[in-house]
Amino acid sequence: MKIGMVCYPTLGGSGVVATELGKWLAEMGHEVHFITYNTPVRLGGVRPNVFYHEVIISDYPLFDYPPYELVLTSKIVEVARDHKLDILHVHYAIPHASAGLMAKKIIAEDGAELPLITTLHGTDITLLGKSPAFEPVISFCINKSDAVTAVSEDLKKDTYKLFGVNREMDVIPNFICPSNYDVSPNEEFRKQIAPKGQPIITHVSNFRPVKRIIDVVEIYALVLEEIDARLLLVGDGPERCAAELRCRELGIESKVTFLGKVTNPIETLKVSDLFLLPSNAESFGLAALEAMASGVPVISSNAGGIPELNKKGVSGFLRNVGDVQGMAEDAIQILESPESLNRFKMGAKKHSDTFRSELVLPKYLALYIQVLNGRN
Ligand code: GMT
C-alpha cells in the first residue's frame, strides 16, 4: 500500500504518533510518504520505504499570513499523483483535514480516488476546533473524511458533544514502540540532576497553560518538605518563565533543572522515578504513557482521556484538576519507600504493555483496508 502521512513534524504527541505509525507501516513493507514542513523529529535516519516531502511556503510581501494550507494541499496532490498514493492519513484536524479533503476533491477530477483518514488528537477538537473560527470547517471535514479515529473514548465523546457529527468514529489509542525503550539510563546525566541519588520527579511538555506547570512546581515543593527529591522539567513554551519565577519565589530553584526541548524525551524518562501530568485537559497523555513504558509511575489529573491510561494504585494515582495537595500526598506515598516505588515502577511498566505497538498499530492497517474495500 502507498500511504501519504500528513502531520506536524514537531515534538508534540500527534507528530510522534504519526511518525511511529509511518515507521511501523514501512517496516511492514508499505510505502510511506510524510508530507509536512520539516523532517519529523522522531523519524531518525534513512530507512527503507520512507520518504519525506517538504511543504515549502515562499515569502511574499502581500501575505500577512502565509497560506500554508494551500501549499500543503498542492503538495499532497503532487505526491498523490506522482506516487499513486492509495490512501491519505492526516493527523490533527487543523488544517490537515481540510487540506486533505481539498486534495481528495482535486484528485477526484483526475478520475482517481484518494481515501482520507483523519485522526483527531485533542486540542484540534477540545480547544481550537470548537471555536467559531474553526468549527464549521472541522465539522465538515470530520463528516466528509472516509474514516475518522480518535485517540481515546473521551475524545470521541467530546467530538460528538462539540460538533454536529453523527458519523461512525473509531477509537485507536496511542501506543509505545517497545524497542525505543531498550536503552540504558545515562548514569552521568542522572548524577548531574541528582548528585546524591535523590529520586527524580519529571515533567515533559510544551509548557502551555493547559499543562499547569505551576501545579507541577507546587506539587514538587510540597514533596520536597518530606522527601529530598529533584525536579527535572523537559520542554519549553509560554509558561516556562512563570515556572522559573515560581521556583525562585519558593526558594527551590537550585533543586530544579529546566532542560529545554529534547528530541528524545525517553532518555530523560529513563533516569526518572516519578512523572507529573496535572493537565487541565488531555485527550490521551502520550507523555505519561512514555513515562510508564520507561518504568516511571505517573501522578496525574483525571482530565479527559488520562483515566483510560493511568490506573489508580497500579501505574500511579489520579486527582481532580488543581488538587496540588492531593497529588503531592500521592507522590510521597509512592516515593516514601523503595518497596513502594519498585511496586509502582513495575506496575507502570506492565500496564504500558497494553499499549504496545504490535497490539495497537494493526488497527490502523485494518481500518485502511476496510476503507479501501469501500467502507464509508
Ligand atoms: O497538546 C497539544 O495541543 C498537542 C497535541 C499534539 O499534537 O501532540 O497533543 C494532543 O495529542 C496527543 C497525541 O495524541 C495526546 O497525547 C495529548 O493528550 C493531546 N493534548 C491534549 O489533549 C491537550
Report the pLDDT value the prediction gives residue 375, as an integer from 0 to 100: 59
Q: Please tell me the predicted confidence (pLDDT) of residue 376.
A: 47
Q: How far is CA 121 from the centre of its chain?
A: 8
- Segments in 110-250 forming alpha helices (H): 123-126, 135-144, 153-162, 187-193, 213-224, 240-250
Residue nearest to atom 9 of ligand 1 (CA): 13
82 CA distance to ligand 1 middle (Å) = 32
Q: Write down the CATH number for the domain with range 2-175+356-372.
A: 3.40.50.2000
Q: Name the grid cell of 13.
A: 504527541
Q: How far is CA 319 from the centre of its chain?
A: 21
**Which of helix, strand or coil describes residue 280?**
coil
Cα(205) to centroid of ligand 1, in Å? 10
pTM for the whole thing?
A: 0.94
CA of 123 to the centre of ligand 1 (A): 6
Beta-carbon contacts of 163 under 8 Å, excluding residues fewer than 6 positions away, are: 125, 129, 130, 135, 138, 139, 142
Q: Which three cell numbers stand for residue 306?
A: 488520562
Domain ranges of the chain: 2-175+356-372, 178-354
Q: Which of 121, 277, 286 to mutate to test the pocket of ligand 1 (most atoms within 8 A of CB)?
A: 121
CATH architecture of 178-354: 3-Layer(aba) Sandwich (3.40)
3-state class (DSSP) for residue 211: helix
Residue 95 contacts residue 69 (beta carbons within 8 Å)? yes
Where does ligand 1 bind, in terms of residues with CB under 6 Å? 12-14, 17, 92, 121-123, 151, 174, 210, 281-286
- pLDDT of the chain, 376 residues: tens digit per residue: 999 999 999 888 999 999 999 999 999 999 999 999 999 998 988 999 999 999 999 888 899 889 999 999 999 999 999 999 999 999 999 999 999 999 999 999 999 999 999 999 998 888 887 888 999 999 999 999 999 999 999 999 999 998 888 899 999 999 999 999 999 999 999 999 999 999 999 999 999 999 999 999 999 999 999 999 999 999 999 999 999 999 999 999 999 999 999 988 999 999 999 999 999 999 999 999 999 999 999 999 999 999 999 999 999 999 999 999 999 999 999 999 999 999 999 999 999 999 999 999 999 999 999 999 985 4
